[in-house]
Amino acid sequence: MMSIVAVVGRPNVGKSTFFNRLIQRREAIVDAVSGVTRDRHYGKSDWNGKEFSLIDTGGYVKGSDDIFEAEIDKQVELAIDEADAIIFMVDVESGVTGMDQEVAKLLRRSKKPIFLAINKVDGASRMNAAMEFYSLGFDQQYNLSSINGSGTGELLDDLVKALPDREEEDNSELPRFAVVGRPNAGKSSFINALIGKDRYIVTDIAGTTRDSIDTKYDRFGFEFNLVDTAGIRKKSKVKEDLEFYSVMRSVRAIEHCDVIILVFDATRGFDGQVENIFWLAQRNNKGIVIIANKWDLVEDKDTSSVKDYEKYIRQQCEPFVDVPIVFVSVLTKQRIYKAIETAVEVYQNRSKKVKTSELNDVMLPIIQAYPPPAYKAKYVKIKFCTQLPTPYPSFAFFCNLPQYVKDPYKRFIENKLRENFDFTGVPITVYFRKK
């Protein structure tokens, strides 16, 4: 399991700029979801070969200082509780403010490693000004500029040393299906209905589930672990911002599963929160099944309602539209077994390996008939393709000028792979490499 690092601080100190810089240190961004709830960001980064999840908590102020104090208390305590280490960001231009002192008080109560990052230090005069931040009570501070990246290396060197060494989770190597979604969408009820007993506490109160628990499931001749990621941990000191905490729990669950079963409340709609969890899974290259729960409660349905709703969901998921959507009612157990059968099919699609000879026999004639468009009077010639040995479907196409292959043609190739080899529910990665 990867460690989690939270970036906290008051507004306008450059947290998001710092966050964007860290996740883009990778050759390719694995995952960056913005706007999940009130400008929070979730991503993955690595430094010196050590990967970690990164959360920008996006502090904000409303009205008076009292309202701010309540908000910062809620947001920062949630981040502290889940994170393994915390980057506390301040702004040298503003100096030490009352807001900084409020955050520092909360951080000093924790036993988590705290890294005080002083942003916008891009000159000798500002180096001297940064000395006043020692008044916040932290032994070491790091002067940096999130705009140009100066100073971030020293911070990251010390940060990764402080992160715990985590062993990869191993549950008898069984496939893991994570049931994710917004609070009170019916995730625990879905699992209870599948296994035929009340394994999880279910109430009308959002956030009843307190821990992620694996349930071994054996049906259809296929064994796997079902994971309910619904809620928040049982910690009385944590104020229950359910949207924030449910996504933090989903981040970890998604990283360590094979297929996500994304459950949403059809009466509430496929809204921005659900979309962002979807894209979180897509960017992590996980299999995805979308479950529209409480379909029996949707009013004014007619013969075209399912088709219209499905069309709307696919529009929200563009360009990744090859995702199965199952309309269920957990209460009446309508189509819940169809949902899990679909999840098994998606897992098998994700594990599918296409023989190199078969892949070339199918794809090369298509490429010959529809070659990449010429660029600067130069023609791209693709001679060979193969599937790469990754846990999810990824393919390399070898050609003379890979830099001239643009995104529209990559999407064309992806669509042809889906048409011919059935990768429904699974993101595909296509690479063009120099022969």
Binding-site residue set for GTP: 9-16, 56-60, 119-122, 181-188, 228-232, 293-296
The tokens 């921005």 sit on which residue? 272
Q: Identify any residues that bridge with 47 across adjacent strands, giving them in sequence order.
A: 50
Q: SS3 of 57, please?
A: coil
Give the C-alpha separation, 428 to 419, whole Å: 12
Angle at 30 between CA 29 and CA 36, to 5 degrees: 95
Give the pair of three-digit tokens for residue 343: 């999840």
Type of residue at 275: E
For residues 324-336, b (16+ Cβ closer than 10 Å) or e, as one string? bbbbbbbeeebbb
Contact 2, 15 (CB under 8 A): no
C-beta of residue 247 within 8 angstroms of C-beta of residue 42: yes
Q: What are phi and psi of 418, to 5 degrees?
A: -65, -40
DSSP single-letter state for residue 410: H
Which amino acid makes up residue 382? I
Element counts in the chain: helices (H) and strands (E): 12, 16
- Report yes or no: 141 and 101 within 8 Å, Cβ to Cβ: no
Q: Which pair of tokens denotes residue 368?
A: 């010959």
CA 398 centroid distance within chain? 30
Contact status, residue 283 vs residue 30, Cβ threshold 8 Å: yes
Annotated binding-site positions: 9-16, 56-60, 119-122, 181-188, 228-232, 293-296
Helix (H, G, I), strand (E, B) or coil at 317: helix
Other CB atoms within 10 Å distance of the CB of residue 228: 24
Give the list of residues 6+ apart from residue 50 with CB closer than 8 angstroms, or none: 160, 163
